[in-house]
Amino acid sequence: MPRHADPDLEERVLDAAQKLFRRGGDKTLSMRALARAAKTNTPAIYRRFKNRDDVLRALLLRLRQEVYEAVRSATSLEQACERYVDFALRRPQEYQLYHAHYHELLGTSRDWRPDGSMGEIGPSFLWVQRRLVDRLGGTPEDHVRLTLALWALAHGTAMLLISRSTPSELASELRTACTRAVTELVREAGEKRARL
């Protein structure tokens, strides 16, 4: 009797990869461990994914989409920054996995173009660029540097809080400073565009 493809297998494997990573980090993601955790066998996983890096790539794409989902319903850039930091703090290991392997597995570092635009980039980055166009005018390419500055603020704040290098009594103040800095950077960019 022929076997029927399991339509839920890919999601089960990614769910298992996420759980394994949360428990033990990157080193726990072997194909055998994934097969056990996903209640399947390694040949079934290899029919869906070429290798371990392919599983990691799919996991990173899923995480990238989850970050976007957390950010996209924000009503302001400041709220988007807060939601980004919240996501990182709720899922610190996955957030660190995402940034540790993003360029290596998704290859975006080679997509920078001489004109300052980028090729394949994440949907959250594009969302911020579009909000800046709505708020300041211009084109998304006009706001690459500002978007990078806003991301650096949010990511830096998230990493400082994840690493606990900031005293816990200052955590709230750090988050407030990040949000205010977003407001100021956008305001300054708006004033600069108005002078041109």
Q: Is the pTM of this model over 0.85?
A: no
pLDDT value at residue 1: 45
Q: For residues 157-182, give the mean pLDDT.
A: 93
The answer to whether 85 and 126 are in contact (CB under 8 A) is no
pLDDT value at residue 104: 67
Q: Is the pLDDT of residue 86 over 70?
A: yes
- Select the more confidently predicted residue: 144 or 94: 144
Q: How far apart are CA 62 and CA 15, in angstroms?
A: 10
Q: How far apart are CA 111 and CA 120, in angstroms?
A: 7
Query: Binning pLDDT at 50, 70 and 90, where does residue 97 land?
Result: confident
pLDDT tens per residue, range 105-138:
556 544 444 344 444 568 899 999 999 999 999 9
Which one-letter DSSP state was computed for residue 169? G
Q: What are phi and psi of 112, to 5 degrees?
A: -70, 140
pLDDT value at residue 116: 44
- Helix, strand, or coil here: 115? coil
pLDDT value at residue 167: 87
pLDDT tens per residue, range 16-54:
988 888 787 767 788 999 999 999 999 999 999 999 889
With a pLDDT cut of 70, the percent of the chain lying above it is 87
pLDDT value at residue 64: 87
Q: Is the pLDDT of residue 171 over 60?
A: yes
CA distances from 16 to 29, 33, 99, 132 (A): 9, 9, 20, 37
pLDDT value at residue 4: 54
- Alpha-carbon dihedral angle through residues 154, 177, 87, 164, given to the nearest 10 degrees: 100
pLDDT value at residue 60: 86
With a pLDDT cut of 90, the percent of the chain lying above it is 59
